[in-house]
Amino acid sequence: MPPRRLLVTAALPYANGHIHLGHLVEYLQTDIWVRFQKLRGHNCRYFCADDTHGTAIMIRARQENRSEEELIAEMQAAHERDFAEFGIEFDNFGSTNSDENRALCAEIWQSIRDAGLVKEKDVEQLFDPEAGTFLADRFVRGTCPKCAATDQPGDNCSSCGTTYSPAELVDPQSTLSGATPEVRTAKHLFIELEQLHAFLDEWTQCGEHLQPEIANYLKGHFLGPTDKPEPLRDWDISRPAPYFGFEIPDSPGNYWYVWFDAPIGYIASTRQWCDKHGENLDDWWKSDDCEVHHFIGKDITYFHTLFWPGMLKTAGYSLPSKVHIHGFLTVDGEKMSKSKGTFVNARTYLDHLDPSYLRYFYASKLSSKVDDIDLSLDEFIAKVDKDLRGKFVNLASRSAKFVAKTGLSATYPKDEGLFDAASSAAAEIAQAYESCDYSKATRKIMALADSANAFVEANKPWELRKDPENEQRLQDVCTIALNLFRQLAIYLAPVLPKLAEQTGVLLGDPITHWDQAQTPLVGTPVAKFKHMIQKIEEKDVQKMIEESKETTPPTPASGELASADGNESANTTTLNDPWKDPGDPLAAEPLAEECTFDDFMKVDLRVARIVSAEHIEEARKLLKLQLSLGGGEYRQVFAGIKAAYDPEKLVGRLVVCVANLAPRKMKFGLSEGMVVASGPGGSEIYVLSPDEGAVPGQRVH
């Protein structure tokens, strides 16, 4: 096969945060693919960059009282250090805040203009008069227009889940300055993606560029059936000043939205590399001889499978040969959590554990599917120890020292076909790597390790060495074992570059090409064996988790927590509190702004008895309850607690309800109140009960 020209990218990490284990799934997946292609002799390049623009960076720089440039330079240095220590090797790591990127944005923008895809529309957005900036949704908080929950984010209510625009919030507040934002109208520029509908339909559905489940998802959600396509929404790609980014040349005062210039960063990073190496950008981005491969997470599917191909197509650049989409990382089956210590930064990992462990573990879990992968800590420890140390490195460790003096045999001995079996497995393993099915590749490789260990076991070099008569046989057995080991090291080289390097040193022959696994090494010296990998220690994993725990609960701004009856206050810092409850519920939903006693009295909370409770088949979350306030006074209430409570078990119990809530018409009938409950939602809902002695109708003071 002639060498392929391959341009590979991983998504650009945002300059606002540090690299964590979740990010690493992608950068390692991509790095392994790139190393594999390079090992095969292809002209493969791995480009990435920091994604630096947008409001979040601007705001943070302001808060830290420094320039955006200083901030992003610092973050980029940290990112690059973390990547390097994990063995992630980019051919170029750039920044979206670069001259190259600005020029490319302008060029591509012009093409999109020329193609008649741009239109102007007025957009109403909240503006912070004190900070002098428009506010993205998440920088506005206020009272939910539906359920009146206070201090809710600008796009949806964490209490009731309603989605709305920030302009609909009651009493909105800017999180930047605390000022009341005003609604201002600004001109925004939109790309009419719908004009590219036919092209996108064809491109996404042809079966070559996307995993089947992704193509399916796009068809179902955005593109619609071919005979009845749904129009694609216009894409808002401008933001009015002030905005940290690039000003749009033909629209002064407006800046490209970060999602416009971010993917162009792939090309800009390529250009930087081309300029450094005397290469021609067009050979990489405008040539049919070059394949472009993007690796991304499923959260940014939309941008990379619709907007981005649309932009490339319009501007005359190569379309991606393939967009490889992976799922998220969970730890011990759950979302990474700061309080549980499973939200682990790359740096924290590096302080305690060997990067090879994680490289191998991810490889052993990754497939070409979009499924999430789970880092079960027990499995991580067991697998790394068993496979890497017990099966793989052990092969060298148990045979190298017997031939340290003699080196390898001059000719390759008869080995019952083991070497041939492993060399003919090359094609299948390569195919697995090529299709990103690394779990399959590692499985195959470990099967080879098993048979190699069995060979050593059967031929007992430790007995052979006892009798000088067997000297030749001893050398032959170890020559075989070390050659089998070397084949594995070659096959694992994309995953474990450091071990491949160490193997090269041990056997005096650097691993540089996949095909080295086809020819045994003979007649060469063997270096003194040094440990190649340390045993993974459970206590180190524990330490890493401990260190990742965010134990300090956020201190309430007021320093006071009002208790339910309103007449006591407690300073949380001086209390003897043996429970040490974690702070995430409070962090997830910060305290609402202070209210007066009169405010509180507006809400009439009453003890009520649930006299009936029934399922509503069509509702996913709701139960229909009849509450008695005593004396024949009843309320029909729809409560979103279906996932957490059995209706039968609720009947008869006392609860607290908001008895004077304005009735609300719902899909299934009129709801005349609320049952108060805590919890994040889903099955985690905890209905409040009064203590024994309370009777329906009593007011809660």
Partner RNA sequence: GGUCCGGUAGCUCAGUUGGUUAGAGCAGGGAACUCAUAAUUCCUUGGUCGGGGGUUCGAGUCCCUCCCGGACUACCA
Residues that bind RNA (CB under 7 A): 146-147, 157, 160-163, 213, 216-217, 220-221, 298, 365, 367, 371-374, 376, 379, 382, 385-387, 389-391, 393-394, 397-399, 401-402, 439-440, 443, 446-447, 450, 453-454, 456-458, 460-463, 531-535, 617-622, 638-640, 664, 666-667, 671, 674, 681
Give the nearer residue to RNA in terms of CB position, either 110 or 451.
Answer: 451
Give the nearer residue to RNA in terms of CB position, either 139 or 402.
Answer: 402
Give the nearer residue to RNA in terms of CB position, either 44 or 449.
Answer: 449
Handedness of CA 402, 408, 413, 418 (dihedral sign): positive
Structure tokens at 659: 């008895």
Structure tokens at 369: 């599917």
CB of 332 to RNA, least distance (A): 10
Distance separating alpha carbons of residues 699 and 354, to the nearest angstrom: 60
- By three-state DSSP, how is residue 151 classified? coil
CB of 347 to RNA, least distance (A): 25
CB of 235 to RNA, least distance (A): 15
Structure tokens at 362: 């991810």
CB 697 within 8 A of CB 606: yes
CB of 640 to RNA, least distance (A): 4
CB of 480 to RNA, least distance (A): 13
CB 17 within 8 A of CB 27: no
CB 656 within 8 A of CB 608: yes
Give the nearer residue to RNA in terms of CB position, either 325 or 521.
Answer: 325
Give the nearer residue to RNA in terms of CB position, either 386 or 653.
Answer: 386
Q: What is the 3-state secondary structure (H, E, C) of 61-114?
A: HHHCCCCHHHHHHHHHHHHHHHHHHCCCCCCEEEECCCHHHHHHHHHHHHHHHH
CB of 463 to RNA, least distance (A): 7
- What's at 594, amino acid-wise? E
Give the nearer residue to RNA in terms of CB position, either 273 or 362.
Answer: 362
CB of 449 to RNA, least distance (A): 7
Give the nearer residue to RNA in terms of CB position, either 382 or 561.
Answer: 382
The CB density around residue 4, as the number of other CB atoms within 10 Å, is 15
Give the nearer residue to RNA in terms of CB position, either 318 or 356.
Answer: 356
CB 263 within 8 A of CB 311: yes
Distance separating alpha carbons of residues 377 and 369, to the nearest angstrom: 22
Distance separating alpha carbons of residues 127 and 105, to the nearest angstrom: 27
Question: What is the Cα gyration radius of the chain?
Answer: 31
CB of 526 to RNA, least distance (A): 13
> Which residue in 235, 146, 147, 232 sits closest to 188, CA to CA?
235
Q: Report CA 420 to chain centroid distance, whole Å.
A: 41
Torsion-angle region of 219 (φ positive above 0: left; ψ -120 to 50: alpha; else: beta) = alpha
> Which residue in 638, 643, 641, 644 sits closest to 658, CA to CA?
638
Could you give the angle at the alpha carbon of 436 between the alpha carbons of 309 and 344, nearest 5°?
Answer: 90
Going by the DSSP 8-state scheme, the letter that residue 560 receives in this structure is -
554-560 contacts: CB < 8 A, separation 24 or more?
554/583, 554/586, 554/587, 554/590, 556/586, 556/591, 557/591, 558/591, 558/594
Q: What DSSP element (H or E) covers 634?
A: strand 634-639
Give the nearer residue to RNA in terms of CB position, either 580 or 667.
Answer: 667
Distance separating alpha carbons of residues 393 and 390, to the nearest angstrom: 7
CB of 671 to RNA, least distance (A): 6
Q: Report CA 445 to chain centroid distance, whole Å.
A: 28
Give the nearer residue to RNA in terms of CB position, either 160 or 421.
Answer: 160
CB of 340 to RNA, least distance (A): 17
Give the nearer residue to RNA in terms of CB position, either 187 or 664.
Answer: 664
Give the nearer residue to RNA in terms of CB position, either 280 or 431.
Answer: 431
CB of 224 to RNA, least distance (A): 11
Q: How buried is 207 (Cβ within 10 angstroms: 0-12 exposed, 13-18 middle, 19+ buried)?
A: exposed
Give the nearer residue to RNA in terms of CB position, either 255 or 361.
Answer: 361
CB of 298 to RNA, least distance (A): 7
| H-helix segments, 163-307 | 197-205, 212-218, 258-277, 281-285, 301-302
CB 71 within 8 A of CB 18: no
CB of 465 to RNA, least distance (A): 8
CB of 148 to RNA, least distance (A): 9
Q: Is the peptide bond before 355 cis (omega within 30 degrees of 0)?
A: no
Distance separating alpha carbons of residues 564 and 553, to the nearest angstrom: 20
* Phi and psi, residue 680, nearest 5°: -75, -15
C-alpha distances out from residue 604 to 180, 381, 655, 665, 699, Å = 29, 54, 14, 20, 7
Distance separating alpha carbons of residues 271 and 264, to the nearest angstrom: 11
CB of 28 to RNA, least distance (A): 17
CB of 397 to RNA, least distance (A): 3
Give the nearer residue to RNA in terms of CB position, either 38 or 324.
Answer: 324
Give the nearer residue to RNA in terms of CB position, either 443 or 549.
Answer: 443
Q: How buried is 96 (Cβ within 10 angstroms: 0-12 exposed, 13-18 middle, 19+ buried)?
A: buried
Q: Is the peptide bond before 309 cis (omega within 30 degrees of 0)?
A: no
CB of 380 to RNA, least distance (A): 11
Give the nearer residue to RNA in terms of CB position, either 494 or 640.
Answer: 640
Give the nearer residue to RNA in terms of CB position, either 163 or 596.
Answer: 163
